[in-house]
Amino acid sequence: MDGPARGAPTLVDPMTDAIQIAQLRKTFGDKTAVNDLSLAVPSGSLCGFIGPNGAGKTTTIRMIMSIIFPDSGSLSVLGRPSAVESKDRIGYLPEERGVYKKMRVGAFLTYMARLKGVDGAAAKRRSADWLEKVGLGREGKKRCDELSKGMQQKVQFIAAVIHEPDLLILDEVFSGLDPVNRRLMRSLIDEQHRAGRTIVFSTHAMYEAEQLCDRVFMIHQGVKVLDDTIGGIRARFDPRTIVAEPEEMRGVDPDSLRALPGVRSVEVGTSELTVRVDDRTPPYRVLAALAGAAAMRRVELKRVSLEDVFIGLVTDHDDAGALRQELRRTDEAEALQGAAS
Amino acid sequence: MMKTFLVARREFVTTVFTKGFLLGVLMTPVMIVMVVGAISLTQLLKGPTVTGNIAVIDQTPGGAVGPRVLERFSTERIEKERADRAAAVGKLAEEQAQKLGVAGPQTQAAGRFATAALDNELAKLKALSVTVLPPGTDVEEQKKLLGEVDVRGQRDVPGKGVGTIAVAIVPEGALSPGESGAYSRFELLTANRLDTEITSEIERRVGQAIVDARVAADPRFAAGGLGVQELRRLLDAPDAKVGAVTAGGGVKKSAGVFQFMLPMAFMLLLMMSVMTGGNYLLTTTIEEKSSRVMEVLLSAVSPLELMVGKILGQMCVGLVILVVYSGMGIASLFAFALQHQLDPMMLVYLVVFFLIAFTTIASMMAAVGSAVNELREAQSLMTPLMLLIMLPWLLWMPISRAPNSMFATILSFVPGVNPFVMMLRLSGSEPPPAWQPPVAILVGLVTVVVCAWGASKVFRVGVLMYGKPPNFRTLLRWIRMA
């Protein structure tokens, strides 16, 4: 059984995990959409579920929502074996989302709230309050198709949270939003998070996840390639690249820099030097040495972005075998790290 | 349960409280009344009066026909006909009023309406004159005159010396049978573009004049003192008072045409209510899919809850139509004092068969709606469904003629069409044996269960399936797979 071995970052605790997935598998015809996926979403966390288009994010989310059913594997949502039993405690914003075009905005939200178990009077009040909150207070009487796309997105978000769910699943929540509304959406998500709700949101835009999440799942071609906290990822993908910008390029001798202790290689660009640090030396030592070696305008440790991690993980390992190897390697590293601390 | 109810309520409210529905359903009967009214009103419109002369070339011995034609077109004669018919209409209106227990304005208005229509009809004839020409008149000469006359030009210019617009040539043998025993036919030549209404009126009146002349000329009638009037009365075949003897020995009066119309009315009602609700279900399902609101809904309700809710909601829409139209039907039965023709049990059967037929067809509609992305794509999947719905139309005649034939009996148990067929047979004059309706209902219920089960499978897979519209094989695979 390779579940526990790979599941090292996956905490299996029904009391604290809002979602648990073990060895989930789903095929459509001869295409495997999700392959042997295991993960756990801790209660109260804000998790990013990232991967390129077609990675299997939406399929996984639909399985979590019991909209489609897995071929094999087990699943638990809010302590129940199926989301059907706890639908009213889950808020779901699907990727394929729309509104009843001819319905009035207020009526649509009230209807959705009522469908999720909110009683009539409260549903009406909450929909009015929410519309006010996102700046659509005057649009309540309008028909849904009179709203702009951005406004419709807000209405859909309200529809997902109006019943005050314990778990919020947002599929591609930022797509189609302009920068102003992105910021609004981020603050709304943050507010939900601070209210103690567990939030899972999927995106293919890595920087959104980086800014918001405390935990990230990365999935590629139906297989999980990364499952860690943001801090953990930063530690794991330990940056060993330094960018140095000298006052004057001509005054720098690359060979003398290469001779510095701990330097593996130096690349010379037009205005920048890219220095790689070997595995044994702490990067700060090289930083200090570089700063003293020439007149530098700027010397900094290059920060790893999720995107770099992701690209690094998925472009080199297009076949499953290589991916598994990669996973085993990172799992071992994790185990060693765990043993050390 | 609550969610299903909420879905059903929304489905019902958003369908019924729209201008389209209210206009379509409630205005249709109003429109029918208006069209019927408009047609009746055209009777009052004064048609163009044709002024002209009818020439009769009477070649019969003694020239017995000519004067009779003259008499048939005379003002006195026409006035008398008008008076007779007006009296008949008045009598009929009075009878109806007594039956209904109403009197006064409406019946008087109807009477006035009928006499006004009559006046219009007869006024045209008053403008026609008749000339009897000698038997030796040159027919070719007359034809030439007819060819030159302009019928339109004769209009509204009275006193300008009317031209001949028609020539009736009554041959010698018209009054006495030849060797073969047959009377000769007469010839009627008219000017080009003469209204058919006038042509046929001339033909009728000349024909009657010939018959009158025949009877008068025949010595056998003269000897027996038998006039044309008596003879006409003698030959008039009477209508029967038709009645069916019921089990208790009582006689149920038959309303003739009504017996034939009632089953059709019931089937139409059933079809209309099933189709309207079913079509709305198809469009709303497709709309939910194409507007991508489907998955948002599925975050709150299960596909089964959604489908059942939608079917129940549209079922109520169908019931509204059923109640509105059958209510109007029943009201008109009372208005014509025919309510005894309607067995209240029929209404119970109507509702039962509506529920069965609707659920069967609505399930299939929901399945089709969930499988496609837009209405256009639904066409190919709808074809067999439409066939199923149109089938009772084709079967209506053979079944209502012989409601207890082997053919009708078998069809009463064929899933899909059996609610319609059974309704036709039940409301007909010869009800089916007592064991058949319950069995038909049972077959219907089994059909409902099977269809709803299959539809729920297709629905669950279909609602989230975008892209290429599926064919039947794919739908069957979905049923097996889900």
Which of B6, B294, B464 shows the shortest C-beta gap to A115? Answer: B6
CA of A137 vs chain B CAs: smallest distance (Å):
22
Average the pLDDT over B337-362 and give the result: 86
Per-residue pLDDT reduced to its tens digit, B295-328:
889 888 888 899 999 999 999 999 999 998 888 8
Under 8 Å between Cβ of A198 and A166: yes
pLDDT at B5 over 80: yes
- Spatial neighbors of A271 by CB under 8 A, at least 6 apart, are A245, A249
Q: What residues of chain B lie within 8 A of the CB of A65, using their CB?
A: 298-299
- pLDDT the model gives residue B361: 92
CA of B20 vs chain A CAs: smallest distance (Å):
13
Which of B14, B296, B466 shows the shortest C-beta gap to A94? Answer: B296
- pLDDT the model gives residue A6: 37
Please give the residue of chain B at the shortest CA–CA distance from A61. B299
Stronger pLDDT, A308 or B353, i.e. the higher one: B353
pLDDT at B152 over 70: no
Per-residue pLDDT reduced to its tens digit, B423-457:
888 887 777 888 999 999 999 999 999 999 999 98
Which of B4, B14, B283, B295 has the most A C-beta neighbours within 10 Å, making it the best mutation to test the interface with A?
Answer: B295
Under 8 Å between Cβ of A239 and A279: no
Under 8 Å between Cβ of B55 and B190: no
Under 8 Å between Cβ of B54 and B70: no
Q: What are phi and psi of B170, to 5 degrees?
A: -100, 115
Confidence of residue B111 (pLDDT cuts 50, 70, 90): low
Distance of CA B455 to the CA centre of its chain: 37
CA of A235 vs chain B CAs: smallest distance (Å):
37
- Test B6 with A111 for CB contact under 8 angstroms: yes
Cα(B411)–Cα(B399) distance, rounded to whole angstroms?
A: 9
- pLDDT the model gives residue A113: 93
Length of chain A: 341
- pLDDT the model gives residue B96: 61
Q: What residues of chain B lie within 8 A of the CB of A66, using their CB?
A: 302
Cα(B312)–Cα(B371) distance, rounded to whole angstroms?
A: 20
Please give the residue of chain A at the shortest CA–CA distance from B8. A115
Cα(B224)–Cα(A336) distance, rounded to whole angstroms?
A: 135
% of chain B surpassing 70 pLDDT: 87
Cα(B419)–Cα(B412) distance, rounded to whole angstroms?
A: 7
Sheet containing A296-301: order of strands: A263-268, A273-277, A241-246, A296-301
Per-residue pLDDT reduced to its tens digit, A88-138:
889 999 888 888 988 999 999 999 999 998 988 999 999 999 999 888 888
And the tokens for B419? 């609610």
B292 touches chain A (CB under 8 A): yes
B466 touches chain A (CB under 8 A): yes
Cα(B367)–Cα(B384) distance, rounded to whole angstroms?
A: 13
Q: Which residue has the tokens 């939608």?
A: B310
Q: Which residue has the tokens 């399936």?
A: B465
- Test B295 with A67 for CB contact under 8 angstroms: yes
B304 touches chain A (CB under 8 A): no
Per-residue pLDDT reduced to its tens digit, B73-109:
888 888 888 888 778 777 777 766 665 554 555 566 6
Which of A94, A100, A111 shows the shortest C-beta gap to B295? Answer: A94
CA of A42 vs chain B CAs: smallest distance (Å):
21
Residues of A with CB under 8 A from a CB of B: 62, 65-68, 84, 87-88, 90-103, 111-112, 114-117, 156, 159-160
Cα(B441)–Cα(B432) distance, rounded to whole angstroms?
A: 13
DSSP H or E run through A127:
helix A120-133
Which of A95, A98, A115 shows the shortest C-beta gap to B3? Answer: A115
CA of B23 vs chain A CAs: smallest distance (Å):
18
Q: For every one of its 341 residues, what pLDDT tens digit does chain A have, with 9 covering 90 and above?
A: 333 333 333 334 445 788 888 888 988 878 888 888 888 888 888 998 888 777 888 889 888 888 888 888 888 888 888 777 788 889 999 888 888 988 999 999 999 999 998 988 999 999 999 999 888 888 889 999 898 888 888 899 999 999 999 999 998 888 777 888 888 888 899 999 998 899 998 887 777 777 788 888 888 888 888 888 888 877 777 677 888 888 888 878 888 888 888 888 888 888 888 888 887 888 888 888 888 888 888 888 877 777 777 777 766 545 545 544 544 454 444 444 444 44
Q: What residues of chain B lie within 8 A of the CB of A96, using their CB?
A: 292, 294-295, 464, 466
Q: What residues of chain A lie within 8 A of the CB of B288, using their CB?
A: 100
Chains A & B: contacts with CB separation below 8 Å: 68
Stronger pLDDT, B30 or B153, i.e. the higher one: B30
Domains of chain A: 17-235 (3.40.50.300), 240-301 (3.30.70.100)
Q: What residues of chain B lie within 8 A of the CB of A90, using their CB?
A: 299
Distances (CA, A) of A177 to A105, A133, A137, B222, B434: 19, 18, 19, 105, 67
Q: Which residue has the tokens 């030439």?
A: B144
- pLDDT the model gives residue A338: 43
- pLDDT the model gives residue B108: 64
Mean pLDDT of chain B: 82
Distance of CA A310 to the CA centre of its chain: 11
Q: What are phi and psi of A50, to 5 degrees?
A: -120, 155
Cα(B194)–Cα(B163) distance, rounded to whole angstroms?
A: 13
Give the ipTM. Answer: 0.74
CA of B367 vs chain A CAs: smallest distance (Å):
17
- Spatial neighbors of B177 by CB under 8 A, at least 6 apart, are B183
Strand pairing partners for B252? B244
- pLDDT the model gives residue A129: 93
Confidence of residue B158 (pLDDT cuts 50, 70, 90): very low
Strand pairing partners for A335? none
Cα(B131)–Cα(B290) distance, rounded to whole angstroms?
A: 77
Cα(B355)–Cα(B362) distance, rounded to whole angstroms?
A: 10
Confidence of residue B245 (pLDDT cuts 50, 70, 90): confident
- DSSP, collapsed to helix, strand or coil, labels residue A197 as coil
Please give the residue of chain B at the shortest CA–CA distance from A87. B300
HSE, side-chain direction, 13 A CA sphere, residue A163: 28
Per-residue pLDDT reduced to its tens digit, B61-78:
888 888 888 888 888 888
Residue A260 corresponds to which amino acid?
L
B106 touches chain A (CB under 8 A): no
And the tokens for B296? 């948002």
Q: Could you tell me the pTM of the whole model? A: 0.71
Q: In three state form, how does the secondary structure of chain B look?
A: CHHHHHHHHHHHHHHHCCHHHHHHHHHHHHHHHHHHHHHHHHHHCCCCCCCEEEEEEECCCCCCHHHHHHHHCCHHHHHHHHHHHHHHHHHHHHHHHHHHCCCCHHHHHHHHHHHHHHHHHHHHHHCEEEEEECCCCCHHHHHHHHHHCCCHHHCCCCCCCCCEEEEEEECHHHCCCCCCCCCCCCEEEECCCCCHHHHHHHHHHHHHHHHHHHHHHCHHHHHHCCCHHHHHHHHCCCCCCCEEECCCCCEEECCCHHHHHHHHHHHHHHHHHHHHHHHHHHHHHHHHHHCCCHHHHHCCCCHHHHHHHHHHHHHHHHHHHHHHHHHHHHHHHHHCCCHHHCCHHHHHHHHHHHHHHHHHHHHHHHHHHHHCCCHHHHHHHHHHHHHHHHHHHHHHHHHHHCCCCHHHHHHCCCCCCHHHHHHHHHHCCCCCCCCHHHHHHHHHHHHHHHHHHHHHHHHHHHCCCCCCCCCHHHHHHHHHHC
- Spatial neighbors of B88 by CB under 8 A, at least 6 apart, are none
Q: What are phi and psi of B439, to 5 degrees?
A: -65, -40
- Test A99 with B293 for CB contact under 8 angstroms: yes
